[in-house]
Amino acid sequence: MERRTFLRGAVVGSSAAAFGGTLMRGAVYAAPAQPGTGPYGALLAPDSNGIALPAGFTSRVIARSGRTVAGTSYTWHSAPDGGACFADGTGWIYVSNSEVDPGGGASAVRFDFSGNVTGAYRILSGTRQNCAGGRTPWNSWLSCEEVSLGHVYETDPRGVNAAVRRAAMGRFKHEAAAADPVRKVVYLTEDETNGCFYRFVPATWGDLSAGTLQVLVAGTAASGSFTWANVPDPDGSPTATRSQVSGAKRFNGGEGCHYADDTVWFTTKGDNRVWRLDLAAGTYALAYDDSLVSGSAPLTGVDNITGTSSGDLYVAEDGGNMEICLITPADVVSPFLRVSGQSGSEITGPAFSPDGTRLYFSSQRGTSGSSSGGITYEVRGPFRS
């Protein structure tokens, strides 16, 4: 992917700040952000795992594709992609999709409260190209198929209950999902060059077996107001869901999606943008657009996105400089980490442990550039709370 400039709905001033830019909340772009320094300082030289991190942070390898996860008999899947963490009675669980077709699905690694791996296992099988997804407030993982007429599968991170296909959530080239417990809906991105942004309104919150699929309707401008319209045929055949509603807004390759505090952020890889929907106001705006950055853009390939309780956003790069970039509530953009020696890969599945002290992510194709070379990492350090 490529580059952009971040603004949470706002005016971008010309004052220097983070290694990527300062953006202020407000209204419209005034001037592109300038390079600066991030909240954790500069990245140090790569560690023994090839990860460049700020001072005070360390990394370790959790799993490698095609090899057994340490301390278990489970072989980690190929092409690890979207992921999330879930609290467990004895620690936490990290789930990860497998973006291969056929044979995608998802797996999980269980940790105790000290961070030791205590188990690994399969939670979804027999699906295709499971890319991203999202967690629900009732602690299930939504695994999304990034194929034409793909489905969303609801899975159990503990591996106890069988996964269930959620056909009511629509059939299209699914990417990510983000649950909004206030409006009791799930937002969905579509990975098409002329894709749409959707929300699923369950008939009963907490049960995704039935409900209404809606699409965002708005003008062609980069900001404005929006509404929602029902998709007449969520099955997407013979007419694709994105082609059923007049006025549905087009997005160039929907990717990651994150909800917090009456706001949903999502990324589009085709134009390297981050978008922000102000759900309370019913407005949308560009949040990051690297074409407006003067000089070197800090974020050069938007993909998966997650956030922390402090309000920081973490955006993983598909290609680019193989970085996870940090966007603070003060609208400062900077690289948080960089993976070296893996230019044929992409960073996927960023997710924080429930206590916020550990960040998990994968390099989908590792040093080999092949789906069989994926590596899943953990980073520890003084994350802001």
Q: Contact, 119 vs 111, CB < 8 A?
A: no
Q: Contact, 283 vs 15, CB < 8 A?
A: no
DSSP class per residue in 142-175: EEEE-STTB-EEEE-TTS-SPPEE-GGG--B-EE
Positive or negative, the Cα torsion across 50, 53, 57, 62? negative
Specify the pLDDT at position 261.
96
CA angle in degrees (0–180, nearest 5) for 157-158-163: 60
Residue 10: partners with Cβ closer than 8 Å, 6 or more residues away: 23, 24, 25, 26, 27, 28, 285, 331
Compute mean pLDDT per 10 residues along the chain, 385 residues long, and list them. 32 27 33 54 97 98 98 98 97 98 97 98 98 98 98 98 98 98 98 98 98 98 97 98 98 98 97 96 93 79 95 94 92 92 97 98 97 98 93
**Letter for the amino acid at 156?**
D
Interatomic CA distance for residues 353 and 97, integer angstroms: 17
Q: What is the pTM of this model?
A: 0.92
Interatomic CA distance for residues 288 and 335, integer angstroms: 14
Specify the pLDDT at position 23.
36
Specify the pLDDT at position 33.
33
Q: Contact, 131 vs 142, CB < 8 A?
A: no
Specify the pLDDT at position 158.
98
Specify the pLDDT at position 338.
97
Specify the pLDDT at position 37.
67
Interatomic CA distance for residues 288 and 331, integer angstroms: 10
